[in-house]
Structure 1
Amino acid sequence: MAATSHLNSKLNFSQIHHRYLHPIRAHRRNHTNSLRPAKYAVLGAGFAGLSVAWHLLKMTPKGSSVCVDVIDEIGIGGGASGSSGGLLHPYSPKARVLWRGGECWNECMKLLDIAERTQTANCVSDGPIVWRRGILRPSMTLKNTEILKQNAQNCLRSCNIEILDSDSVSSIIPGLSMPFNCALRIPSAVNIHPKRYLQALFLACQNLAMEDGKEIHLLQKSFDYLREFAGEYDSVIICLGANVDMLPELSGKLPLRTCRGVIAHMRLPANSNKGEFKADSPSILSEAWLAIQSPRDALIGSTWEWNSRNYSSKVSDEESSIALENVLLPKASAVYPAIRKWEFVRASAGLRAMPPLTVHGSLPLLGSVNGALGSEDGSGCRYWVIAGLGSRGLLYHGLVGKLMAQAVVSSDESIIPSELVSWKDENMWFSKHITTV
């Protein structure tokens, strides 16, 4: 099947999704066939999955016979990635220097730039991918004030942090609560629209495949076992987030906890201007965050329901009411009282896969998981996993996707930093989880 063609006409992303949806192949090619392309299956079309897909295409030589199938039953951004708030900054609220914070930031900025340029070049837009207005974090406790000051001193060179007083903040966001006369401003922080970003990044993958003579397909199909992919693919990269636990071969075998988060979309009533944000107002980071999308539209989040098994992005009226009245509005109005005058539009949710805490912080889990499948199946297929990006999936996805693609292309797990694969040793993973499914 030829690589996808360039789009010259103006289309919205839903049209692109329909136009480039390919059915899975019914046949399997012989491994001895020298013309057989290197075939990779990427399970999951969220932040991690599309980062891996992009880097697999980018790292393989131009003109080489390569096929990447991105497989997701729901589609692009249908899981927790598509329901995230989209606030992006290399900042730790606990004054801890983030793991490779500068690298994570730079790799993410590269992918955002690629997505934006693709959106412009293909005349495809449902609205902006990125709002570059920065983030404000006001101090709400005395302890928090000291942490904010430490953050300002220890900030990355690539992400400047300023300390502002009440007068300075009131000129930026009037009415913001400032009980301790201190707030951090991160001018370079951004707010992204997750689904627009992911759709544009997939389109960038299609364009790159066409230019380099490679193939990439989006396959909306369900699957029950990892072994279904044996013989069809050289490598399978599992980027399913919390859904990884639904695979029988890996269920209960990764040191992850689930956490469901509900986000509310709020809008200022049409007959009111009081409480309207400025066109360049930054988003707000506090006990609850407010992601400002326009002077009259904002997202507020998020709730933290630990050990949830609710994988749906849909939110019932009861769940949204409880989340809004018991958690989101009380926390958001404590920092921005005017939000109580806004109207609730809708709610969405995502189930995050949270990793264990290590000496380096809460880090994603990467590595080969062939051990989970027991004896080799003889097909030569290799299985890899990216999991546990947690609440920092947007920040981590560029770098971990790049590292995983390097490991997959070279068939060398040692390329992955040891701190990202140490979960296997620390949990005696291979000795506990060798199994036959």
Structure 2
Amino acid sequence: MKLLLLPPKPAVPSPRPSPRRLSRRRTIPSMASLSTHHHPLAERPLRYAVLGAGFAGLSVAWHLLRHSSEKLHLKIDIYDESGIGGGASGIAGGLLHPYSPKVRLLWRGAECWKECLKLLKIAERVVDKRNSNYHNVQLDWNLCESIIRRRGILRPAMDAKHLDILTNNAQNCLPSCKIESIDKDAAEALVPNIQVPFNSVFHMPEAVNIHPLCYLQALFLACQDLAEKNSTSSFGGKELFMHKKSIDRLCDFEGEYDAVIVCLGAKADLLPELSGRLPLRTCRGVIAHLQLPDNAGETYPDHGPSILSDAWLAVQGPRDILVGSTWEWKSRNYSSVVSAEEASTALEQLLPKASAIYPKIKDWSFVGAKAGIRAMPPLTSFGSLPVLGRIDDLVVGNHSCKYWFFGGLGARGLLYHGLLGKLMAQAVLFNDETLLPVELTSWKK
């Protein structure tokens, strides 16, 4: 017979402070309290469905496995018709840092940066382990690629006003992700022929450029490893399954799962229960892939940083660069395929911006393009923040299944996914929406 501990009774609510104060004062349960939490349904597997296998979905899956009680029998099904990283997350530029375009520290930037680096290390360990032991599962994935492609990002100032803004904001940078102001000579030592309009470039040496698809595949394998590690538990065990299939409607999950977490990005609006009811805007972005011909001269320096400007240059190798991104608002084109006409239009937009900072890009050849639709969040007093929360009231049914939403990551999904995936997992495990920051749930009001 199993001994079941019921969840603690909720405390009597105190007067609700303002949203800004609540964000700072909200007490989040410790990982120790989560690890001892017992669910009242522990006599059978607790079943969760995670819809989406991008940044949001895989972060939630990892944290559900990592922070649920070892005595809890937990089954997680991940659904994504495009597979791991098959949507916008997998084709992202991969530039990771905790700052806005004006190098201002983003909302909870220090925590987001810290949690994202943790997940990167976990994914890197999986790649190292599987490559060294070479006992890979049978997957069509190239885990020999390094997840971190480059370290360091340069941010040039484009005019005098921009220079003043960057200079002021850079003074409040994180010690773990410094922003250094360097002159033209120092910048050219890093990237020969770079243009420095005002003799000042802001260098983030700890910022990184990652390979998003390789990272997501490794994070999924880390989830698999964690589930297998706990599958032999004498108390419960963990199960993880990936389903490459489409989702037609949320009500289909009623009676099958205890909770469903929607992490579908822009495709969430295709679900009939959510269509037109989320405060999100769609934006299609095209990224151009350029390579330096073999007969061309100077390559990009081996350790040269990537560049952020009106267009960004995510350096993949000495002869390999991604340039992005275009912004097509309200697009409903969910295909990752880029037509010749769309690619030509994208190049017309991106190359002048890229060459204004790195003129040598004119010697590079276009070899392909990829595209994805981002779900852009609403603008709040804290900036453009993701959208999280319970959505039971949007789904018809008896609500034996709890429905959650995690989306609106926009162009900062890589930075936000670690911390917010952790907070979402806490909220789902405790079935308590108040564990989520009020800034991210205020859209419901």
Do they superpose with TM above 0.5? yes
Cα 1:51–1:313, aligned 2, differ >3 Å: closer, same or farther? same
Residue type at the aligned position of 2:163: T
Task: Pick the aligned partner of 2:379 from 345, 353, 357.
Answer: 357
1:382 equivalent in alignment to 2:402: yes
Q: Residue 105 of structure 2 corresponds to which residue in structure 1?
A: 97
- 1:377-401 CA distances to partner (integer Å, 9 max, x unpaired)? 3361000001110000000000110
* Partners of 2:285 and 2:371 within 8 A in 1: yes
Residue type at the aligned position of 1:392: R
Task: Pick the aligned partner of 1:327 from 327, 339, 349.
Answer: 349
In 2, Cα distance between equivalents of 1:390 and 1:329: 23
Q: Residue 216 of structure 2 corresponds to which residue in structure 1?
A: 198
- Between the aligned residues of both structures, percent identity stands at 61
Q: Map 1:77-88 to 2 at 5 A.
A: 77-88=85-96
Q: Residue 183 of structure 2 corresponds to which residue in structure 1?
A: 165
1:254 equivalent in alignment to 2:271: no
Q: Map 1:133-282 to 2 at 5 A.
A: 133-213=151-231, 214-274=238-298, 276-282=299-305
Task: Pick the aligned partner of 1:392 from 412, 415, 423.
Answer: 412
Q: Residue 27 of structure 1 corresponds to which residue in structure 2?
A: none
Task: Pick the aligned partner of 1:412 from 413, 420, 432.
Answer: 432
What is the TM-score of this pair, normalised by structure 1? 0.87
* Partners of 2:292 and 2:363 within 8 A in 1: yes
In 1, Cα distance between equivalents of 2:82 and 2:105: 36
Task: Pick the aligned partner of 1:338 from 347, 357, 360.
Answer: 360
1:268 shift after superposition? 0.4
Q: Residue 32 of structure 2 corresponds to which residue in structure 1?
A: none
Q: Map 1:415-426 to 2 at 5 A.
A: 415-425=435-445
Runs of 4+ in structure 1 over 6 Å off:
none
What is the TM-score of this pair, normalised by structure 2? 0.86
In 1, Cα distance between equivalents of 2:174 and 2:379: 22
* Partners of 2:104 and 2:170 within 8 A in 1: no
1:33 shift after superposition? 8.3
Task: Pick the aligned partner of 2:147 from 104, 129, 132.
Answer: 129
Secondary structure of the corresponding residue to residue 189 of structure 1:
strand
In 2, Cα distance between equivalents of 1:360 and 1:49: 24
1:295 equivalent in alignment to 2:315: no
- 1:85-120 CA distances to partner (integer Å, 9 max, x unpaired)? 000001112354310000000000000000000111
- 1:218-262 CA distances to partner (integer Å, 9 max, x unpaired)? 101112110111111100000000001000000000111111100
State the Cα RMSD in Å.
1.4
* Partners of 1:92 and 1:151 within 8 A in 2: no
In 1, Cα distance between equivalents of 2:102 and 2:213: 29
In 2, Cα distance between equivalents of 1:157 and 1:122: 33
Residue type at the aligned position of 1:361: G
Secondary structure of the corresponding residue to residue 206 of structure 2:
coil
* Equivalences, count: 391
Tell me, which stretches of 5 or more residues in structure 2 are unaligned? 1-39, 137-142, 232-237
Task: Pick the aligned partner of 1:38 from 19, 43, 46.
Answer: 46
1:146 shift after superposition? 1.0
Tell me, which stretches of 5 or more residues in structure 1 are unaligned? 1-31, 426-437
